[in-house]
Structure 1
Amino acid sequence: MGTYKKGILGSFSGKVGTVVGSSWNGIEYMRSLPKPSSKAPTDLQMLQRAKLGMATGFLQPISALINIGYKGLAVRQTAFNVATSQLLAEAITGVYPDLTIDYPKVLISKGNLTGPWGPAATSASSKVNVTWQDNSVSGTAKATDKAMLLVYNPDKSQYVFTTGGDDRSSLADSLDVPADFVGDTVHVWMAFISADKKAVSTSLYISEVVIA
C-alpha cells in the first residue's frame, strides 16, 4: 500500500483497473487488488475470523458508547478498532468453534479518570439500579462526573446504555429496561465520564442481575 498526493486528475476512491483508491484520516492511499485464493482457510484463520465476527457483533450495537469510551486511545486507528482489539485479546475464550465472551473481562471504556468504588446492581420494576460509594475527592474524580452504564441481555442480544447518567456525587443511578427482560439474566457495566466529556474511567463489570 502506498500514499499519494493529488495529481492532475485529483484523488480517487474505489477500484480503477488493478488498484483501489481510498483515504483515512485525511491521508490518500492506494493498494493493489487482492488476488483470489483457492486455498481452504487454515484452522487458525477460521479461529481468527470467528473471534473477529464475535467481537464486532458484540460491539457494533453499542458503537456510540464505545466511540466515547475509547476516544482517548484512538491514535492512528478508530476507537472501535481499539475496543475490538481489547475484546479479542482479553475477553473471548473457548476452543473453536465453541467460543464465548467472558463478560467480566469486557471493557466498555478505558481511561485515566478515577473509576467507581464498590458499584453494585439490583433490579426492580423493570429497572436496573446501580449504586456506588462516594469517591468524589479521590484521584482525578470530580463530583460532577457522569455515570456511564451498560446493560446487556444475551438471551435477546439487546443492550440498554447511557453515556450521561447521574453525577458521581449522587451515589446511584438507574436504567429502564424493556418489560420483556423480566426474568432474564443481564450483565451490567459502569464507568464515569467527566462533565466536559474529555476524560473517561476504565469501566468495571459489576455483576449479573436477574431482571425483576
Structure 2
Amino acid sequence: MARLIDLLTFSGAAGDVVGCKGPHGFYIRSRPRKPRTTPTAKQLEVRARLALVMGFLKPLKAIIYPGFSVRYTAKTKVSAMNAAASHALNHAITGEYPDLDIDPAMVRLSRGMLVGLPRAEAKLSGTSVAATWSAEMPQFNGHADDCATIVVYNPAEKTVMAGEAKREVGIVSVDVSDEPPGSELLVYACVADRDRKQFSNSQFLGRLVR
C-alpha cells in the first residue's frame, strides 16, 4: 500500500506504478509484473546455466574484480563479473541440461597479457596448500617483483583462501586448517604486476582433497 508524503509525492505501490524517494528526490517507476507465460525449456536451461555459473563465481568476486576490471572491456565490478561469467558460460559448463556441472579448469579468475607462472603446481602439505613454480624470469611481460596470488577455493563451503608472494620467490603456502576434512579444494594462480595494472590469465593448478 502506498504512503502519502504530500499532495504530489508518495512512497510504495499505487496501481501500476511505485513511488520512491531516492538520494536525488522523488521518482516513479513501473511496478514489476510477474510473467504471465510459462518459461520455455530453453529459457529454463539458460537460467540454470547462469545460476550455476554465478553460484560458483560469487564467492570469488574479490579475486575476479581486480583480475578483470583492469581490462578496457570491464571497468566496473559489475562488468568484471559479467566478463568472468561470460567466459565460464561459454567454456566451463559441462553435461546436458538438467545435469550440468562446472569444469573448474576452464574457469578464469583473471585475464591479461602478463606471463603466468611456469611449471606451477600445488600439493597438500599437512594443513596447508603449498604452491611452487619456476622463479626464472620471463623474457618479456613479466618482472621479478610481480605478485603471484594462489587462490584455494572450497566450492562446497563457498570459502576462499589466498596467499601471495613475489614471482622471484617461487613458493607460497596457504593455510587450509579451517576446512572440513574430506573437502575438495580447487587451486588457482593469478599474477599481477607491481602496480596491479596488468594481470595474467589465471591458471588452474588442480584439485586437492583436504
TM range (shorter): 0.7 to 0.9
Aligned identity (percent) is: 32
User: Number of aligned pairs?
Assistant: 193
Task: State the secondary structure of the residue aligned to 1:54.
Answer: helix
Q: 1:107-136 CA deviation, whole Å, 9 max, x = no partner?
A: 110011111111010111210000001242
How far apart are the structure 2 equivalents of 1:31 and 1:142? 52
Assess if the C-alpha contact under 8 Å between 1:116 and 1:135 holds in 2: no
Q: TM-score, normalised by structure 2?
A: 0.80
Q: 1:22-62 CA deviation, whole Å, 9 max, x = no partner?
A: xxxxxxxx986665422111111111111111111111112
Q: 1:74-115 CA deviation, whole Å, 9 max, x = no partner?
A: 058621111111111111111122111001101110011111
Task: State the secondary structure of the residue aligned to 1:78.
Answer: helix
Q: Computing the radius of gyration over CA atoms, which structure comes out larger, 1 or 2?
A: 2
Assess if the C-alpha contact under 8 Å between 2:56 and 2:155 holds in 1: no
How far apart are the structure 2 equivalents of 1:90 and 1:179? 31
How far apart are the structure 2 equivalents of 1:80 and 1:190? 18
How far apart are the structure 2 equivalents of 1:203 and 1:191? 5
How far apart are the structure 1 equivalents of 2:121 and 2:169? 14
Instruction: Tell me the CA shift for residue 180 of structure 1.
Output: 3.8
Instruction: Tell me the CA shift for residue 139 of structure 1.
Output: 1.6
Q: 1:175-199 CA deviation, whole Å, 9 max, x = no partner?
A: 1113444443311110111111111
How far apart are the structure 1 equivalents of 2:198 and 2:129? 25
Moved over 4 A (4+): 14-21, 30-35
Assess if the C-alpha contact under 8 Å between 1:113 and 1:201 holds in 2: yes
Gaps of 5+ in 2: 1-11, 21-27
Aligned to 2:5: none
Aligned to 1:158: 159
Aligned to 1:173: 172
Aligned to 1:95: 96
Aligned to 1:117: 118
